[in-house]
Amino acid sequence: MRELVNADTLGLPETFNVATWFVDRNVADGRGSRVAIECGDQRITYEEVLANVNRVGSGLRRLGVRPEERVALLLVDGPEFVYSFFGAIKIGAIPIPLNTLWKPPDYAHVLHDSRAAVAIVSADLLPALEAVPVAQRASVRHLIAAGPDEAAQTGLATRFSALLAQGADDCAAEPTSRDAPAFWVYSSGSTGKPKGCVHLHHDMVVCAEQMGKGVLGISERDRTFSVAKLFFAYGLGNALYFPFAVGATAIFWPGPPTPANVYAVIERHRPTLFYSVPTGYAMMLAHGRPEGDSAAGEFDLSSIRLAVSAGEALPPSLYERFKQRFGIDILDGIGSTEALHMFISNRPGAIRPGSSGQLIAGYDARIVDDAGAPVPTGDIGNLWIRGDSTCALYWNHHEKTKSTIEGHWLRTGDKFSVDADGYYWYAGRSDDMLKVGGQWVSPAEVEGALIAHEAVLECGVIGREDQDGLVKTMAFVVTKPGVATSPELAKELQQFVRTHLAAYKRPQWVEFLPELPKTATGKIQRYRLREIAAAR
């Protein structure tokens, strides 16, 4: 039995407000003059962050926001997100970051489900929220517009600058419990409507200590840049509470994470820790300087001491190509919205390309069969995780909570094997595994073989019945820019897989798509691939 980390072992008092831990503590410990946030031309110190967090918190109090009332945050990455997130937590309210890529029906579901009392919205995203039927957002008493375009807003929205002006530089923290709800994060909704994961005040501290400090060795000298946005559980740790845990600098980019934008941010702001997802790394590798660019040669990533990947398994070929091109290690790992951040990860000096790494200290794991019995080392089974960053429940989903969280254990829904050295190997989601010719096939394994081909940018593998009703593998492939698709390329890819894997794992069909359907966190939506296959 592994030793777990919890609020007691971390020395957190029973009365504990996590906003003071990540914001006030930096100023109290003498880091107030350090730059907390860089966003474009803005440089914001920890003293300024504290003052604005207090202004948002006290401003919300003046509006009548009460402890445990929900505050929806539909905000692009920037200082307003930080002030709003920690300002709400400081007064005991519950911030709920919302995906900025959603559509009005998604916002309608979350606003109705959460009964949010306030919505703080980036000005250019207001139309998406205003398109929600009034009945679905009836709980929202105050709509606040944030960002550079807020002055152009009229109607019912209050300006974020007015909220700050109504607040005060001092704001007493609500004496919350370390085990009280602090914020919610809605799951990506890959197989249905998003579900609200209720996270507690101590959860972020656990992740910052175990992953941020324990694996990454983050310190106040670091500068972090995350392609994954703040509304993701992954991005929230990468870009906000990991650097704020040690007084480091968080670099924000509010725009789209195209390869050109990502390279530009890295070269301008010089991060030391860089976070992305496998698709993001593939897009960066496929991108070179355009013709006519005044800069010559390779992109300068020399400031980065470590890169991190999550969302889906990182194929070994992507790791090797990135390492060869830039000389930077990528630490692949796995986490979940329910667990808030990673619980398994590779480590500096202990990387096995293709694996998700080893268990992070403070967490425990089981790999079990469908009856809950442990499987032998090397066999594929269901991954269960135990750790004190796990959410308390799914809001308004009592039965789903009981079927996912069993006592101290979280059923991740992932299939894994673990080798004799304690490295975990991803085999796909529990409902994605295929039985072909009486033998189990992991879609992730076939995808890893395909993406090693020089023509493939990314791919997704599913099962499809043949004319006899037998399941065979089918691959959907996105080629690299400039690569023409053809029946000959499809046959070449089939043979390529056959030379690397057992013959029964070779895709029976290869289809080409301009892009793969994905969740907001970058996970392939295989059910949509199955719908595409059924329509052909």
Residue 190 is predicted with a pLDDT of 47
Q: Distance (Å, rounded) from C-alpha 156 to C-alpha 148?
A: 18
DSSP state for residue 342 in the 8-state scheme: E
Q: CB–CB of 375/176 below 8 Å?
A: no
Nearest to 272 by CA among 302, 237, 240, 241: 302
Residues near 257 by beta carbon (within 8 Å), at least 6 away in sequence = 227, 229, 276, 280
pLDDT band at 347 (very low <50, low <70, confident <90, very high): very high
Q: What is the pLDDT of residue 536?
A: 81
Amino acid identity, position 150 = E
How much of the chain exceeds pLDDT 90, in percent?
A: 79
Q: Outline where DSSP puts E strands in 179-293.
A: 181-186, 196-200, 223-226, 249-252, 273-276
Nearest to 318 by CA among 158, 480, 191: 480
Residue 95 forms beta bridges with which residues?
71
Beta bridge partners of 408: none
CB burial of 490-527 (b: ≥16 within 10 Å; e: otherwise) equals: beebbebbeeebeeebbbbbbbbbeebbbbbbbbbbbe
CA separation, residue 441 to residues 295, 438, 446 (Å): 46, 10, 8
Match 């703040």 to its residue by tokens.
Answer: 230
SS3 160: helix
| DSSP bridge pairs for 121 | 74, 145
Eight-class DSSP state of 208: I
Q: Where are the alpha helices (DSSP H) in 21-120?
A: 25-28, 46-62, 79-90, 104-114
pLDDT band at residue 452 under the 50/70/90 scheme: very high
pLDDT of residue 150: 59
Q: What is the mean pLDDT of residues 389-415?
A: 95
pLDDT band at 436 (very low <50, low <70, confident <90, very high): confident
Residue 119 belongs to what H/E stretch? strand 118-122
State the Cα angle at 454 between 451 and 459, rounded to 5°.
30
Average pLDDT rounded to a whole number, residues 499-516:
91
Say what percent of the chain tops pLDDT 70: 95
The pair phi, psi for residue 59, each rounded to 5°, is: -65, -40
Rg of the chain (C-alpha set): 23
Whether 327 shows a pLDDT value over 60: the answer reads yes
Per-residue pLDDT band for 361 (boundaries 50, 70, 90) equals very high
Q: What is the pLDDT of residue 332?
A: 97
Task: Delineate the domains of the chain, giving CATH numbers in brackets.
Answer: 25-176 (3.40.50.980), 213-428 (3.40.50.12780), 436-534 (3.30.300.30)
Beta carbons of 118 and 71 less than 8 angstroms apart: yes
Lowest mean pLDDT among 184-198, 254-268, 391-405, 469-483: 184-198
Mean residue pLDDT across the chain: 92
For residue 199, the cross-strand partners are: 183
pLDDT in tens, 142-197: 999 998 765 555 556 789 999 999 999 999 999 999 999 999 999 865 456 789 99
Question: CB–CB of 524/312 below 8 Å?
Answer: yes
Pick the more confident residue, 344 or 505.
344
Q: H-type helices in 453-523, by residue range?
A: 487-500
CA dist., res. 532 & res. 307, Å (int): 34
Q: What are phi and psi of 164, to 5 degrees?
A: -60, -40
* Predicted confidence (pLDDT) per residue in 97-152, tens digit: 999 988 898 899 999 999 999 999 999 999 999 999 999 999 999 999 998 765 55
Tell me the torsion sign for CA atoms 15, 246, 244, 102. Answer: negative
More confident residue, 388 or 1: 388
Predicted local confidence at residue 11, as pLDDT = 95
3-state secondary structure of 94: strand
- CA–CA distance, 73 with 341 (Å, rounded to integer): 20
